[in-house]
Amino acid sequence: MQEELTSTLKKMLVTNLFVETPEGQIGEDDGLQSVLGLDSVGFLELRVLCEERFQVRITDEDFNPDNFRTVGKLASFITQLKSSQESVA
């Protein structure tokens, strides 16, 4: 599931947020800001896209640089959110 999630995130970055790096060249540990060049608006858009696509709720507290640092970190965070939100439901 993690691999599929990572692939989906890369596709979203290229398709929806117009990151110039080709999907196949985005590494799991590439910084969303430092390497891929996302700005503050891009991060807000990514948050909304993730909430809609993965059916999760990202709180303001969770919307922080640690969780959104790299594709891999974001994928792990979404996996964690999904499992914790499914156990509540």
Q: What share of the chain in percent tops pLDDT 70?
A: 98
CATH number of the domain that residue 48 is part of:
1.10.1200.10
Place 85 in a pLDDT band, splitting at 50, 70 and 90: confident
- Whether residue 67 is predicted with pLDDT greater than 90 in this model: the reply is yes
The packing angle between helices 71-88 and 2-15, to 10°, is 120
Provide the domain limits for residue 64. Answer: 2-21+28-88
Average pLDDT over residues 24-43: 96
Instruction: Count other Cβ atoms within 10 Å, centred on residue 21.
Output: 15
The packing angle between helices 71-88 and 40-54, to 10°, is 40
pLDDT digits (tens, 9 = 90+) for 2-20: 899 999 999 999 999 999 9
User: Which residue, 63, 56, 61, 59, is CA-closest to 78?
Assistant: 56
Q: How many domains does the chain have?
A: 1
pTM for the structure as a whole = 0.92
Helix or strand (DSSP H, E) at 13:
helix 2-15
